[in-house]
Chains A and B, each alone.
Chain A
C-alpha cells in the first residue's frame, strides 16, 4: 500500500493524540516513503541509517506537525534537513559507491514527492557545485577522482562542496 497525503495527515493527527496503531502504520508508510525519497541521493548502504534518523526526528518532533497543514512537506523538510546533515558528516567509503545494481526502477512517484524532491534542491546549486557534491558526498568518490571527472582542481572541488553544502542548508525550507 502507498498511503496518500490525506491518509498520512490523518494518521499523524491520531498519532499526536496517542493512537499507537495509527502511529505504527504511519511510521511504516513514512519509512517506505523515505526509502523512495532518499533513493540515489545517498549510497544504498546508508539509506536505512538515514531513514532511521528521520524516523527518530519525526518521533521527537511530532508536536511540530500542524494538523492544518499537509503532512508530506513537513516530513520532506525533516528529511532534507537530515540529508544535508548527513552529507556534511559522510566520508568517502568505497564500499558505499553506487554500482550498476543500485539503479532504481522508475515508479509512479506522486506529484507531491516530485515537487519536494531532493533533486530540486540540487538544481538550485551551480552546475559545478552539484556535480562535485554528487560525486564526492553521494557517490563516494575521492576528491582527486572528483577533480579528474569534473575537470576542476582539487581545491575547487573542496570549495564547491563547502559552498554547495552551505547553500543546500539555506535551501532546505525555502526551495519548493
Chain B
C-alpha cells in the first residue's frame, strides 16, 4: 500500500465516530409514517368515503386499491433495500406487482372498447381531479424515500428513481382513493392507476440526479 493511501486511512481512522447502521425496519417505519400522514391530510381536506366501511364500495374498488397497496409496499421495500449497496440485488418484486396493476387499465380498456364505451373515460368529470389529488398525495412518501436514499448509498440510480416514483404514486393513489366515492371500473382502472405511471416517470427522470454521491 502506498504512502498516500496510508495517510488517508490514518486520517479517516482519526475522524471515526460511531454510526448506527441503517435498518430496514427504520425505513419501513418512516414510510408508514409518511403514508399515515398522507391519509390524515386526505381525510382532513377531502374527507374519507364512508362507503368503504358500510360495504357500499364495489369489489373492483377493493381490488384496485389492494393491488395498488401491494405495489406500493413492493416498490417501497425495494427502494429501502437499495439504500444499502450490494451485488446481485435484482428487485424483481416491483416489476411483477406493476405488471399485475397494469392488467387493470388494460382489462378496462378492452371491456370498454368491446361494448363501445371508451368515451366514458374522457367523459369522466372527476377523473382529472382524482389524478391530481393522487399525484399530490404521493409527495410525502416520495420525500421520505428520497430522504432515506440520500442517507444511503444507492448504486442503481435509475432503478431507485423509478421505484421511488412508483411507490410514492401507488401510496398516493391509495390514500386519495380513500376519499373517492366513484368505484366504477373505468374510473378506478384509469384515473387511479395513471398517477402511478406518472409518478414513476417523474421519479425516473428527476430522482437519479438527486441521488448521485
Residues of A bordering B, CB below 8 Å: 15-21, 23-24, 27-28, 31-32, 35, 48, 51-52, 55-57, 59-67, 69, 73-74, 76-78, 80-81, 115-116, 169-170, 172-176
Contact = CB atoms under 8 A, between A and B. Distances in A.
Contacts, number: 123
Chain B, interface SS category? loop
B4 interface: yes
B12 A66 contact: no
B125 interface: no
A55 B8 contact: yes
Interface of B: 1-2, 4-6, 8-10, 12-23, 82-91, 151-153, 155-159, 213
Contacts of B152: 61, 64
**Which interface residue of B6, B87, B88, B156 has the most chain A CB atoms within 10 A?**
B87
A5 to B, nearest CB: 13
Given A16-B19, A31-B1, A52-B5, A170 B84 contact: no
Nearest to B87: A73
B13 A16 contact: no
B153 A64 contact: yes
A66 B82 CA distance: 12
Nearest to B85: A77
Contacts of B157: 169
